[in-house]
Chains A and B, each alone.
Chain A
Amino acid sequence: MPLPWITVFLPWLGAAILAAIPQERLAVRANVAISALGCLCTLGLVAVPGGEQGWTRIDALNLPLVILGGVIGLTTAIFSAGHVRAEGFDTLRLRGYHAAFQIFLGAQALALLADNLGVMWVAIEIATLASVTMVALHGTPAALEAAWKLFLLCGVGIALALFGTIILYLAAQPFVGHGDHGLSWVVLRGLAARCDPGLLNLAFVFLLVGYGTKAGLVPLHAWLPDAEAEGPVAITAVLSGLLLNAALHAVLRAKAIVGSNPGTIAPGHLLLGFGLASVLLAAFSLWRRRDARRFFAWSSIGHIGLAATAFGLGGLAGNLAGLLHMIGHSLSKSAVFFAVGHAAQRKGSQQIAAIGGLIASDPALGWGLAIAIAAVAGLPPFLLFASEFLLVMEAAARLPWLLAPLLVGLVVAAIAKIGVLQRLCLGAPTPDARPPGPGLTTLGPLWVHLGLCLLLGLGLPGPLRALFDAAARIPG
């Protein structure tokens, strides 16, 4: 079996095992072990020669995202190991939780690796179902509502995406003949120039609205804040860090196909519009948040919007900025969610007002959170600073009018984030509701993510540079 397949099936196998383990200690360890194996697999993909393996294909665009998924999967599993007990699950739910987590990891890897658009669609559906399960796990009215919202909105979304996929095939059908490779991304991209531009336009609209819903682009974002705020604390990190990436990646693949036909209306501009709307709406919505996890969920919308704007601009630099932004967002935002989740468990509430003075009570956590929020706000020397800088450069060069809304969005959002940073981290500490859990399972992932952000932002290793450079050429 080729390694990409193992990358997908290993977590699913793990899910089956985890679903059968009733003991909490064992399940938690098994979860970490399986995630670690999965992470190793993704790292191993570097050594696999690029190209097609059955219905999977590794190229420069999905490789970094898959590795990112492996790494964040592992760190989230570690974080989860220290925090799942406080969720108060019974055995059934615990088994469901771990199984859904691994299913989700496998599905998002598949969504990234799939060469066949149909497979990709199925993978995203599985990831959606897994995330619905995880969000609903607590069974509280708020959790159920969040899950229901996620389910229905994303269900409709991916149904539309399927329609887009069908139209895409319809456009290519006269040229491909029969066979499974008719939905292959590479084949479609090669054929796109000959396809009917009208059908491609139609397909792109459906794919954009469909996968855009999953990516949380405004105005299709309504499910995101609640879903990210109501599930178990650990899964928010993967929801925000990985699910959105997988969906945006799908949009990019569609854009690459449609964009390679010169007769289509520029798909980049549509993406740009969605991105800009997300950036602006998120920036202003941040100001009224009282719930810490919802706050950062909204910030995720803003970040995905920025990445979409960058990809919408397109070109090498634009795509590079978008890719870096996705990666930076995943790393730093999940770091924030680790710290916020830990603090929320400890304080017994995820209201911003209930969490305060973390620096005074726990300097390592408080400073880690402060720096992570600063990184999310785009302060140096982290990766998001570099990607936002590159985005602004590119916007100024290509569409100078874009600078005005972009700057408003960036500054307004950043100021709101600083306000929350100070309320969470500074001042006198608020009382703890329960004794703090094991700090290392929070601090380890938190600081590792920050370190990675720093490393990628300023000291990107040479091979990775080449990889990103190649990746930036793919979406066109």
Chain B
Amino acid sequence: MSFGQLPYDVAHVLGGAMLLLSCMLLYQRRVAAVITALALQGGVLAAAAAWQGYVQGAPQLFLTALIALLAKAVLIPLALRLLVRRFDLDRTVETALGIGASMLAGIALVALAILVVLPVTGGAQAVAREDLALALSVVLLGMLMMITRRNAILQVVGLMSLENGLILAAVGVAGMPLVVELSTAALVLVVLVVGAVFLLMIRGEFASTDTGLVERHRGEAE
């Protein structure tokens, strides 16, 4: 694989699409739209994994793609939608940092990701390097989303986006062992987080989904 060839171009386009979707996640003002963007990102991830499976001739990546498609593009977004509808949550996004400001921060993070990966030259293939920059950007944007949104569901979305970035990186590295196991384990983590949010909301421990408000159980008498 080298620059200008089809496998590279497709992988690149898919990675770019994921980054774009990450930016959209940051940009959206409505919870429903955020969830849709997330589902889309899951779909793109599945496509990327499948493409890599095809290019690298690694059949296990198809499994990864399948799992990603099912879980991230379908099940989890559905569950989140259910959650939003069931609890009649505020449909607009509550931010700790304005949308504009978080976009700016996002751009800065992408620049940083590129800057960090830039010196990596010796030996590593250009493909992997570009992929890495994209995946790193997705990871960082996911984390940014986690810390700039007050809504627990949006934080879960951020975590999932972060995890999507991880899988993107994992499938992009040719010959990565245990890739299925690792991606599944990471997925389990995310699913459990979603489940925990679900559980907590049902139990009424979150009076609101603003995580800023549940911080008062310090266990230390004042």
Contacts and interface: CB of A to CB of B under 8 A. Distances in A.
Nearest to B116: A202
Contacts of A125: 185, 188-189
Contacts of A174: 123-125
Contacts of A163: 135-136, 139, 165-166, 169
B117 A144 contact: no
Contact of B193 (A119, A155, A181, A194): A155
Interface stretch (B45-53, B85-93, B176-184): B176-184
Interface residues of B, number: 49
Contacts of A294: 219-220
A240 interface: no
Contacts of B155: 152
B94 to A, nearest CB: 18
Interface in B156-178: 159, 162-163, 165-166, 169-170, 173-178
Given A156-B143, A166-B169, A198-B120, A145 B186 contact: no
B82 interface: no
A289 B176 CA distance: 47
A159 B159 contact: yes
A9 interface: no
A159 B178 contact: no
B178 A116 contact: yes
A179 B203 CA distance: 46
A469 interface: no
A229 B219 contact: yes
A165 B182 CA distance: 10
What's the dominant secondary structure at chain A's contact region? Answer: helix
Given A145-B217, A290-B221, A183 B178 contact: yes
A159 B158 CA distance: 12
Interface in A115-137: 116, 118-119, 121-122, 125, 129
B181 A122 contact: yes
Interface string A157-169: 0111011011101
Interface residues of A, number: 52
A64 to B, nearest CB: 28
A226 interface: yes
A192 to B, nearest CB: 13
A291 interface: yes
Given A156-B143, A162-B166, A183-B178, A169 B221 contact: no
A55 to B, nearest CB: 10
Interface in A194-229: 194-196, 198-199, 202, 226, 229
A170 interface: yes
B121 interface: yes
Given A183-B177, A196-B122, A198-B120, A351 B217 contact: no
Nearest to A117: B178
B193 A173 contact: no
A142 B214 CA distance: 10
Interface of B: 116-117, 119-125, 128, 132, 135-136, 139, 143, 146, 155, 159, 162-163, 165-166, 169-170, 173-178, 181-182, 185-186, 188-189, 192-193, 196, 200, 203, 205, 214-215, 217-221
26 contacts: A116-B177, A116-B178, A122-B181, A144-B205, A145-B215, A148-B214, A152-B155, A155-B159, A156-B146, A158-B189, A160-B139, A163-B165, A166-B176, A169-B173, A170-B128, A171-B124, A173-B174, A179-B175, A180-B178, A195-B123, A196-B122, A198-B121, A199-B120, A229-B219, A290-B220, A294-B219
Given A118-B177, A196-B122, A294-B220, 14 more contacts: A116-B177, A118-B182, A119-B178, A144-B205, A152-B193, A156-B159, A159-B159, A159-B166, A162-B182, A166-B169, A173-B175, A178-B177, A199-B120, A226-B218
Interface of A: 116, 118-119, 121-122, 125, 129, 141-142, 144-146, 148, 151-152, 155-156, 158-160, 162-163, 165-167, 169-171, 173-174, 176-183, 194-196, 198-199, 202, 226, 229-230, 289-291, 294, 351
Question: Across chains A and B, which 7 residue pairs bring their CB atoms closest together, nearest first?
Answer: A198-B120, A142-B217, A118-B178, A178-B175, A180-B177, A145-B217, A198-B119
